[in-house]
Structure 1
Amino acid sequence: MRLSEIDDHNRGDHYYLTPQDECFYLLEYTSGRDFSFSQANQIISNLKKKPSERFIKGGYHYKAQVIRQASNTLREAIHPDWLQRSTLIPVPGSKCVGHLDYDDRMEQICRGIQDGLDVRNLVTQTVSTEAAHEAGINPRPTVEELIDLYQIDETLCDPAPTDIGVFDDVLTAGTHFKAMKTVLNRRFPGVRVSGFFIARRVFPTPLE
């Protein structure tokens, strides 16, 4: 599996992205369809299983399998020289440390890519919120709202990154990526910030 880049042909699917944003993805997740629709939908469904459901619903073990699979796939897809020189920063989940549903799946994926990589939780979320994919008819957080919720962990800033990869599971509107990029660029001016996603969100065609 190879990484594809967001470009002029598909950038319009992701409202907040501009030509200046460098983002890559592995799969296409179809919105409004369940896990049985495609391999990508099954992978994302397993990734998003809540920690609180571990002992309530069956199939939670699939989450660990998908995390390992994602790490292995990214190891093969990303150039090793970039991995060695860059800082990998997972997008924080919607729940803070200590919450029953705190989920460090993206950190696990980053750390599983290869031993010895520079993986840092440089950005944390200060308040637990509703997960964007569970918002339903409620408004999803804006870039500005996420910027207000995000905080740089100053204890992890030394040495300063020279190239940053922001890692998340699904690229939808690009809200979380833009908020992360803004916060990181304010703290580390001039440092390139790229986005890496397990999947990008697409919409079903009338026949699907």
Structure 2
Amino acid sequence: MTTSDASWSPRLRVVGDLERPDHYYLDERDICAYFGTYTPRAGFSHSYANDIVSNLKKDPSLQGTGQWRYKQRAIANVASAIAQNLNPESWQNTIFIPVPPSKRKESPDYDDRMVQVANAIGNNADVRELLYTAVEREARHTMNEKRDPDALRASLGIDPRFAANPRRQVVLLDDVLTTGCSFKVCKEMILELWPDCAVFGIFVARRVPVNPFAAFLEE
């Protein structure tokens, strides 16, 4: 079993000038924070962050199997980490919005892991599924090309049932920060609806690029 290591911090880390170039669509106006550094295609045993992300992303088809408890444990651990990093007294002015997954709710592959994380934060958090997937798209981990913000936006909708009573700030919750496209599109949609709020991002981990010289350094 993977144990805690330098890939994970119990305290949120903010994406700064050094990290931002790894996430193509982010700019200095975007405030995003994360706990871990995720290395793609390295497997769950590569690091503690990889282990958390891999368990969090376990396929819905595994529900009812022995693997499912690892997903539920990851959800609980992430929710606890978020709760410990935020001041509950400020939550009366905060809305937590999970970034929608790639599948529609009607799909057997629909995975509401970030909704579960949000609901497990506690402290009477105002959790709203304001954004939803109207048109299914490929999951990010299956795509190699650069994300298309216009196509992503066209696939998302706003649920009017959750649009009333905006608050001072919105926290978008997602699992892995990759290009920053999802955050950017969701942020823009929220600001068009609620132009006076501040929008921040909290991610379980951020994807780190593979060192092109890694093979040489290992020799």
* TM-score normalised by structure 2 residue count: 0.88
Aligned to 1:143: 149
CA RMSD of aligned residues (A): 1.6
Alignment of 1:65-144 (within 5 A): 65-135=73-143, 137=144, 139=145, 141-144=147-150
Work out the CA distance in 2 between the residues paired with 1:146 and 1:161. 25
1:90·1:106 contact (CA, 8 Å) conserved in 2?
yes
Work out the CA distance in 1 between the residues paired with 2:24 and 2:122. 32
Counterpart amino acid of residue 154 in structure 2: D
Q: Provide structure 2 residue ranges, at least 5 long, that are not aligned to the other structure.
A: 1-9
Aligned to 1:189: 195
Deviation sequence 1:134-191 (CA, Å, 0-9, x none): 22x4x35411111111111111112123210000000011010001001111111131
2:94·2:170 contact (CA, 8 Å) conserved in 1?
yes
- Structure 1 counterpart of 2:44, from 35, 39, 64: 35
Percent identical residues: 38
Q: Provide structure 1 residue ranges, at least 5 long, that are not aligned to the other structure.
A: none
Work out the CA distance in 1 between the residues paired with 2:166 and 2:91. 16
SS of the residue 1:198 aligns to: strand
2:97·2:173 contact (CA, 8 Å) conserved in 1?
yes
Aligned to 2:173: 167
Aligned to 2:35: 26
Work out the CA distance in 1 between the residues paired with 2:146 and 2:200. 23
Work out the CA distance in 2 between the residues paired with 1:122 and 1:82. 20
Counterpart amino acid of residue 163 in structure 1: Q
Work out the CA distance in 2 between the residues paired with 1:145 and 1:190. 26
Work out the CA distance in 1 between the residues paired with 2:87 and 2:31. 15
| Displacement over 3 Å in runs of 4+ | none
Deviation sequence 1:54-92 (CA, Å, 0-9, x none): 35x752220000000111111111222333320000001
Query: Number of paired residues?
Result: 205
Stretch deviating more after TM superposition (72-81 or 20-29): 72-81
Work out the CA distance in 2 between the residues paired with 1:77 and 1:122. 23
